Each structure stands twice: as structure tokens, then as C-alpha cells.
Amino acid sequence: MKTRLLLLLLPLLALCACSEESENDNNNEYANWQVRNEQFFAQKMAEARAARDAARALYGDAWQEHSEWLILRDYQLSPDAAASYLDSIPVQVLQRGTGSGSPLYTDTASVCYLGRLMPTDVHPQGYPFSFTGTLPTDAQVFGETTRAPVKSLVSGNVAGFTTALQHMHIGDRWRIYLPPGQAYGSNATTLIPAYSVLDFTLELRAYFKPQ
């Protein structure tokens, strides 16, 4: 009798275990993270391409002055090098500056920025991260009285960030999306899981030539 009861209970225990495991997977904010990030980046690139193509059709050679989105090729690639969409970054133009020049690779840039990971159910606006240890809001980062620009070498950033800086003018505020290959790739940090798309809002405040 005990043996028969045990045999009846085993399938039920297995079912409960599977249900619990499935529920935990659904509650895991980073489940299937690599694939979800690939899909997220592809969506942003498709949005940028559609906006760029529409602006070109309407404004011809002056399309960049009117387009809400840009697509920038990795600065490390030569113009004639074969490339895929993962070798470029989609850029949403939030504010246009008045500066005429752009920083060079060897310059130092003064930038206000806020970083996020892709949106999740837990963080629908994207999980914010900060290398300074604090998590300020957009209003604090870009507010006239609260902003505190950070100085760094243009060359001292991940590839996608460096690419963006070399196209920005003083006063430009952009939202850029970096695929893992132009950020930290398969390397995880204490703040950023492996294979993460990085979502940066950044504003170029100034730049300086080497002394």
C-alpha cells in the first residue's frame, strides 16, 4: 500500500516542481537575456532606419537636419569595410546643439549622461545604472542647476559611446543604443549583465584638445 501511494505521489511532486520552476523563470527579470537584448536592439535599429528613410524622402540632402533618428557606423571601421547592422548604433536626437565642431578621438569630452539597460517588467523604463554609485533622474542629470558633467577621454569609452561623441556638437542631447559588441559584449560587470544593450542619454557640454 505504501509503495502504491508513493508511486501516485511522484507524478504530482514532479508537476509541482515543474510549475514552480516555470513560475520562477517568468519572474526572473534577466531570463533569456541575450535573445531579448538582440530583439530589442533590432527593433531600435528598424525604428531608426524607418525614420531616416522617411526624412531622406522628404528633405533630400538636408535630411539630417530634420530626422529624429540617425544611424552611426562604428568609428573603428573603414568606409568600405563590410559590416552588419550590429556595427552601427541607432541615435535618437532629443535636442540639437549650436556648436559647429565635434570632438576628435584624442580630445577630452565633458558630458552629462544617464545609462540604462533594456526595459523589463520590473523596470519598464529600463533599469538605471551609474558608475558613480548614485542613480540620479533625468531632471537632475540635465537640469541647468543640478547637472555635473563628467570629463573623460573620447578614446576612453566603450566603442559605441566613442562613436557617438565624435559626431556630436556642443549642446546636442542624444539617446543612443549600443549593441553588446560595442559595449561590454559577453563580459558581465557588477552593474551590467553579459550581452546587454546599453541605452545612454548623453549631452555634450564641452570638449578640449590635448595639452
Say how many residues make up the chain.
211
Would you identify the CATH topology of the domain 32-78+91-208?
Answer: Chitinase A; domain 3 (3.10.50)
Return the C-alpha cell found at 22.
516555470
pTM: 0.84
The dihedrals phi and psi of 201, each to the nearest 5 degrees, come to: -105, 125
Q: How many CB atoms lie within 10 A of CB 64?
A: 12
pLDDT in tens, 187-209: 998 889 999 999 999 999 999 99
Return the C-alpha cell found at 31.
531570463
pLDDT in tens, 137-179: 888 888 989 888 999 999 999 999 999 999 999 999 999 999 9
pLDDT in tens, 27-79: 588 999 999 999 999 999 999 999 999 999 999 999 999 999 999 999 999 88
pLDDT of residue 7: 39
